Structure 1
Amino acid sequence: MFPDQFDYYKAESVSEALDLMDEHSGEETELLAGGHSLLPAMKSGLSSPDVLIDIGSIDSMHGVSVEGDTLSIGAMTPYDDFIESEDARTHAPALVAAVEQVGDTQVRNMGTVGGNLAHADPASDLPAPALVSDVTLVAEGPDGEREIPVDDYFFGMYATALGPDELLTRIEVPSAGDAVGTYAKKASPSSGYAMTGVAALVETDGDSVQSIRVGANGVMDHGVRLEGVEDALTGETLDDDAIEAAAERATDGLDTDMFMSDLQASATFREQLLRVYTKRALSEAAEQTASPAAAD
């Protein structure tokens, strides 16, 4: 299938992109990053923009760098560039674990970290690790830059705190320190998107859990924290019994009536998957925290 006719512009800078967005604010306008979500939607008729603004070549929105204890990810950084960064592996292990499971080589070469988070597909792989990594999303608009804490960012299906005149320019990640990060995913057999994906960021002190953040995507219309799991494991030993008990609390505080139900999986099945993949993400974290001791 072919998309409807549209006007195409290629922005070379953030300011040029913002000017183009303002100039065409009265028209249906879409931003083109990696294109793996937008272009199929245009070809199938689900999206028919009048104007397409290509932001993929804006140099200032590419790359991974570290300032102090903060990792900065340019919004247009391709997935593969991100996971090849040693700084990313050190500072953002949960995000790396998730990005490694995004699509295939072709998708990871073209798709972008910022494009994923701006699109906010509830079945994509980055909302949960972004939540557990406590990222800050930096947007630029007519009034300059503003920082959006990730806990205030996701509103619903494809809905975020980004304004219609704002551009996501970078993602800032505080250092994970000695924490380990994991991501366990039940992928859709047809699309590879997450029917359920669970991310965990766990730091231990000796045998006990000092801090833990757990999140999920693919279950509700936006990524969510699993606070019942976090409460169950904080201060506890990360052993099989504790993990089993914590995984049973995966739905604590969540309205299971609002779980997604579609041709891929019913809400009831997603509820079961959430417990199973919470356990898998935590078990992987336990293995990683135990490995240094095993090496000794």
Structure 2
Amino acid sequence: MIPSAFDYAAPTTVEEALGLLAAADSAGDDVKVLAGGQSLLPVMKLRMADPSMVVDLGRITGLSGVTDDGDSLTIGAMTPHHVVASDPLIARHLPLLAKAAATVADPQVRHRGTFGGALVHADPAGDMPAPVLAMGATLVIAGPNGERSVDAADFFQGYFTTAVREGEILTRIRVPKFTGWGAHYEKFTRVSQQWSIVGIAAMVRVEGGTIAEARLGLTNMASTPLRATAVEQALAGAALTAEAIAAACLHAAEGTEPASDLNGDAEYRRHLAQVLAKRAVLAAAGL
């Protein structure tokens, strides 16, 4: 199928884009913001979305790239996944993010799809929200009243729903550095390039022969990404052994609400969470 007819605008500044969104809202028009288009365009072709206007952010300078802000990195919302996966600053200070981005779909999608677009789309099976949550990122949103910052824990609000309101644009993501932490992203799919049935974003900080601290994010275990807090607590201070890690990861499904669908029922996903958490933590710990 092909989309219905729509008006198209390609602003060159955030202010111009916000003005277009405000004008469309005042006129009662349905407007969609286009980032990489890897999520929006398919649903428009299926006519699950039928906007009267599309505002393309691709010509706005300053919305992509990675900058070092001392104790954190700032990543522009329009930064493609392949840059997130390959940027040397991200690889050094945010290895979990680089590893997760490298698993997104295929090379074509990674070169067109954007980091911020994936976060705003907020698909529960998407690979980027869980790492962002696990790392405690802050998301900066521009709107008609200026900018506001939202913690990742408050950003994802439900199926395909975030804290970005009508007339607003996600502009950048600030992520605290985790230099020296071990990291791994483990996901399970039935076929290559499929959405994750379950995914685990894991980071560990090792001191001597123990795990001093751990952070885990869960993909597709609820309508939003979740922190596996029970596993994090069980790993803190645990011996750096496969047995201790396996025991801690038995808690991976606690507090989750996985869906049942053609890819697997809820109980299957709970089992996968335990198995994948163990694999992810072992890999992050270098075991």
- Normalization by structure 1: what TM-score? 0.93
Q: Distance in 2 between matches of 1:8 and 1:208?
A: 56
Q: Which amino acid aligns with 2:280?
A: A
The reply to whether residue 38 of structure 1 matches residue 40 of structure 2 is yes
Instruction: Establish whether residue 75 from structure 1 lines up as the match of residue 74 from structure 2.
Output: no
| Cα separation, 1, equivalents of 2:255 and 2:223 | 15
Q: CA deviation at 1:111?
A: 0.4
Q: Give how far 1:187 is off.
A: 2.1
Paired AA for residue 156 in structure 1: G
Provide the rounded CA distance (Å) in 2 between the counterparts of 1:265 and 1:238. Answer: 32
* Residue of structure 1 in register with 2:176 after alignment: 174
Q: For residue 22 of structure 2, what is the amino acid of its counterpart?
A: D
What is the distance in 1 between the residues matched to 2:229 and 2:240? 16
Distance in structure 2 (CA, Å) of the matches to 1:46 and 1:261: 22
Structure 2: which 5+ residue stretches go unaligned?
A: none
* Equivalent position amino acid for 2:210 in 1: S
Whole-angstrom CA distance in 1 between matches of 2:29 and 2:203: 42
Deviation at 1:79, TM superposition (A): 0.9
Q: What number of residue pairs does the alignment pair up? A: 285
Whether 1:284 and 2:286 are equivalent positions in the alignment is: no
Query: 2:264 maps to what in 1?
Result: 265
1 CA distance for matches of 2:131 and 2:110? 17
CA distance in 1, matches of 2:11, 2:276: 41
Residues 188/9 of structure 1: CA separation in 2 closer, same or farther (3 Å cut)? farther
Give, as a single letter, the amino acid of the residue that structure 2 aligns with 1:164.
E
Residues 233-270 of structure 1: per-residue CA shift (max 9 Å, x gap)? 1011131111111111112233xxx3111112211111
CA distance in 1, matches of 2:31, 2:163: 18
Deviations 1:81-139 (A, max 9, x none): 22221001112111111000001110111000000001100000011111111111011
Map 1:43-122; keep pairs closer than 5 Å: 43-122=45-124
CA deviation after TM superposition for structure 1 residue 189, in Å: 2.1
Show the counterpart of 1:293.
none
- Equivalent AA in structure 2 for residue 74 of structure 1: G
Name the structure 2 match of 1:128. Answer: 130
Distance 1:45 1:140 in 2: 28
CA distance in 2, matches of 1:194, 1:56: 27
CA RMSD after TM alignment: 1.2
**Paired residue for 1:17?**
17
**Runs of at least 4 residues off by over 4 Å:** none
What amino acid sits opposite 2:23 in the alignment? Answer: E
In structure 1, distance between residues paired with 2:239 and 2:80? 37
1:177 positional shift = 2.4
TM-score relative to the length of structure 2: 0.96
